């Protein structure tokens, strides 16, 4: 199993996604002799998972069933264990496009965090590219190395435990792109410039506060970066629902009401009117925005090494 190469069957040691529904799924490490509890009952790895094809429908001990999915960076972003705040697909998609990443690209990243963006970057630059990711926190760096090894992508990534603001990325003049997700990105702009290839490399900085963006832009200008621009990506989700709307009254009903002296203040007449209008309703499917929407996540500042 690898996050960048699809495997047909589930093997011992794989990371798989147990899919109970669009709003309910979780990762599981497949191990011989292990069981996983779900609300539909027990899944026995030895008999229910190992040797079965990814995408299979597995019946649990209580009679309910789940699907077992092959892991992807998108599914991992939705289900990974959170060690830090993470980037989601909305920001990840624009980052990979604006940094002009492709198979064979060399990318430097700091900090690694929970590895959400890291897995997407690895999949994008595979099979001949490489990710150099720097994490200040030692335990998080070690956990990231362990996950990359379990996910079959350790040959595509190098994890370094150091302070990027003081020690840089450990590489010089080879990176096609640099990504920064640290509290003070302006302190690492010089190291980012050193890591980028001689000319034309792209960099991106993610910051939740506009004050951080201002200081980062000033540092980018100081180090000679061009094409500096900042984006904020907002996601608006719609639910598909059945909507009921009244057929418009083009005047006939209004004339009848006025001729009969209809008094809208009468409860009996109001009920009669509502019943008549309900008979003239039409139902159809429509997209309805959520009442509560996740707003600001962070600002993405892009620049080019001239």
pLDDT of residue 253: 54
Query: Same domain, yes or no, for 40 and 81?
Result: no
Residues 6+ apart with CB under 8 A from 170: 132, 134, 160, 162
User: Binding site membership for S-adenosyl-L-methionine: which residues?
Assistant: 114-117, 135, 163, 181
* pTM, 2 dp: 0.84
Residue 161 and residue 179 in one domain: yes
Residue range 73-125, pLDDT digits in tens: 999 999 999 999 999 999 999 999 999 999 999 999 999 999 999 999 999 99
Structure tokens at 190: 């010089």
Q: Are residues 27 and 111 in the same domain?
A: no
Task: Give the CA angle between residues 145, 151, 153 to the nearest 5°.
Answer: 70
Residue 1 belongs to a domain: no
Per-residue confidence (pLDDT) for residue 31, from 0 to 100: 95
Query: What is the pLDDT at residue 262?
Result: 46
Residue 52's contacts (CB-CB under 8 Å, 6 or more residues apart) are 9, 10, 58, 68
Give domain status of residue 276, yes or no: no
103 and 23 belong to one structural domain: no
Tell whether 113 and 226 lie within a shared domain: yes
pLDDT of residue 131: 98
Statement to judge: residues 30 and 170 lie in one domain: no
Cα–Cα separations (whole angstroms), residue 223 to 53, 72, 106, 194: 52, 37, 21, 10
Check whether residue 50 and residue 197 sit in a common domain.
no
Question: Can you tell me the distance from the alpha carbon of 278 to that of 92, in angstroms, rounded to the nearest whole number?
Answer: 47
263 domain residue, yes or no: no
Which of residues 36, 71, 106 is at a domain's end? Answer: 71
What CATH code is carried by the domain that includes residue 26?
3.10.330.20
Q: CB under 8 Å to 117, separation ≥6 — which residues?
A: 86, 87, 92, 95, 109, 179, 181
Residue 286 lies in a domain: no
Question: What is the domain count for the chain?
Answer: 2
Residue ranges at the known binding site: 114-117, 135, 163, 181
For residues 24 and 136, membership in a common domain is answered with: no
Confirm if 125 and 105 have CB atoms less than 8 A apart: yes
Where the chain has pLDDT below 70, the residues are 252-279
The CATH number for 98's domain is: 3.40.50.150
Q: Which of 24, 53, 71 delimits the end of a domain? A: 71
Whether 56 is in a domain gets the answer yes
Tell me which residue range forms the domain holding 221: 75-234+296-305
Domain end marker among 53, 71, 89: 71
The pLDDT of residue 135: 97
Is residue 301 in a domain? yes
pLDDT score of 22: 84
pLDDT of residue 272: 53
> Are the beta carbons of 85 and 142 closer than 8 angstroms?
no
Q: Tell me, yes or no, whether 105 and 170 share the same domain.
A: yes
Q: Are residues 86 and 185 in the same domain?
A: yes
Q: What is the DSSP letter of 53?
A: B
272 part of a folded domain: no
Other C-beta atoms closer than 10 Å to the C-beta of 236 total: 9
Residue-level pLDDT at 290: 84
Same domain for 127 and 193, yes or no, is yes
Any domain includes 172: yes
168 plus 144 within the same structural domain: yes
CB 154 within 8 Å of CB 145: yes
């Amino acid at each position: 199993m690898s996050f960048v190469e699809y495997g047909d069957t589930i093997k011992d040691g794989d990371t798989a996604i147990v899919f109970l529904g669009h709003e309910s799924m979780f990762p599981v490490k497949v191990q011989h002799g292990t069981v996983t509890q779900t609300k539909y009952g027990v899944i026995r790895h030895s008999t229910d998972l190992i040797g079965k094809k990814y995408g299979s429908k597995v019946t649990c001990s209580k009679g309910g069933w789940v699907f077992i999915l092959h892991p992807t960076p998108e599914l991992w972003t939705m289900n990974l264990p959170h060690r830090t705040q993470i980037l989601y697909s909305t920001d990840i998609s624009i980052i990979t496009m604006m940094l002009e990443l492709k198979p064979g690209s060399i990318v430097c990243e700091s900090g690694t965090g929970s590895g959400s963006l890291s897995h997407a970057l690895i999949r994008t630059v595979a099979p001949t590219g490489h990710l150099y990711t720097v994490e200040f926190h030692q335990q998080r760096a070690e956990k990231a190395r362990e996950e990359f090894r379990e996910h079959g992508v350790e040959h595509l990534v190098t994890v370094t435990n150091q302070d990027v603001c003081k020690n840089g990325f450990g590489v010089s003049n080879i990176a096609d792109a640099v990504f920064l997700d640290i509290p003070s990105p302006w302190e690492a702009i010089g190291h980012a410039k050193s890591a980028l290839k001689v000319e034309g490399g792209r960099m991106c900085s993610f910051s939740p506060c506009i004050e951080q963006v201002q200081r980062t832009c000033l540092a980018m200008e100081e180090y000679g970066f061009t094409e500096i621009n900042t984006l904020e990506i907002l996601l608006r989700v719609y639910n598909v629902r059945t909507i009921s709307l009244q057929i418009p009254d083009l005047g006939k009903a209004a004339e009848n009401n006025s001729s009969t002296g209809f008094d809208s203040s009468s409860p009996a007449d109001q009920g009669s009117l509502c019943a008549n209008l309900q008979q003239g309703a039409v139902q159809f499917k429509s997209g309805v925005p959520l009442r509560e929407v996740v707003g600001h996540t962070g600002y993405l500042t892009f620049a080019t090494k001239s």
